[in-house]
Amino acid sequence: MDALSWMDATLFAVGATAGVVDAIAGGGGLLTVPALLASGLPAPVALGTNKLQACAGTALATWNYSRAGLLPWRRWLLGVATTFVAALAGAAAVTAIDPSALRRLLPPVLAAIAVYTAVKRDLGQEVRAARMSAAQFGLAFGAVLGFYDGFLGPGTGSFWMMACVLVMGLDLRGATGVTKAMNLTSNVAALGLFLLAGSVNFRIGLLMAAGQLVGAQLGSRLAIRHGARLIRPVFLAAVLALTVKLAWDAFLR
């Protein structure tokens, strides 16, 4: 097998692995972005290609959660629409706002989420009473987290998960379904901008998308079947890994 074939096989495998992780708890970008950069793509093209392959896996996972009855679309449509518009606004703001201060704030926030998840062993084990209506939640968190995902992005899935559990009272399966829908929405918005800029490698993106579909199918089915027993440890591991990565980038690199 020549070097190109090995690289293709590696990218497919990375896409599949990230698809499993993303479908269960998010954080697949920790695997896919370094792999795309290692393939020799320039950073803007790597990021755009990452959005293409991520959309494939997230779309399939969202579909599976919806089919399992964990994503009542009528309840979340306002949140989806708000997230889409806010993500476009966040992407447009990238050139006008310096994100360095926010980058330094992320590691301690994510570390707090990790500690809370580790200590709170019953987190998301069962459905609880919501603290606000779905419309209020969709407007408020769709605006804030949609903008954040378009503007910077890391940790968005973790923030959605915690918001769904703590504010809307969802269990971890339901929270994962809503998170996938919102992540898909902001990813599609970002992908559209990368496509307009010509910053997508379709050959590599579609190759990894095929792997994402395999992984997302497996990951979403496992999460639906096993619920919080599986989602909680994977979510905790993903948050911890992201915390370390962002702390390194913000303070040590």
Q: Diameter of the chain by CA atoms?
A: 57
Distances (CA, A) of 65 to 60, 81, 225: 9, 19, 11
Query: Rounded distance, CA 170 to CA 76, Å?
Result: 13
**Which residues, 6+ apart, have CB-to-CB distance to 4 below 8 Å?**
none
Report pTM: 0.92
Which amino acid appears at position 126 of this protein?
A: E
HEC secondary structure over 132-163: CCHHHHHHHHHHHHHHHHHHCCCCHHHHHHHH
What is the residue-level pLDDT of the chain in tens, covering all 253 positions?
565 688 899 999 999 999 999 999 888 888 999 999 999 999 889 989 999 999 999 999 999 999 999 999 999 999 999 999 999 998 888 777 777 788 888 899 989 999 999 999 888 899 999 999 999 999 999 999 999 988 888 889 999 999 999 999 999 999 999 999 999 999 999 999 999 999 999 999 999 999 999 999 999 999 999 999 999 999 999 999 999 998 998 887 7
Domain ranges of the chain: 3-252
pLDDT at 241: 93
Q: Terminal CA-to-CA distance of the chain, rounded, Å?
A: 35
pLDDT of residue 45: 92
Q: What is the pLDDT of residue 1?
A: 53
Q: How far apart are CA 78 and CA 145, in angstroms?
A: 14
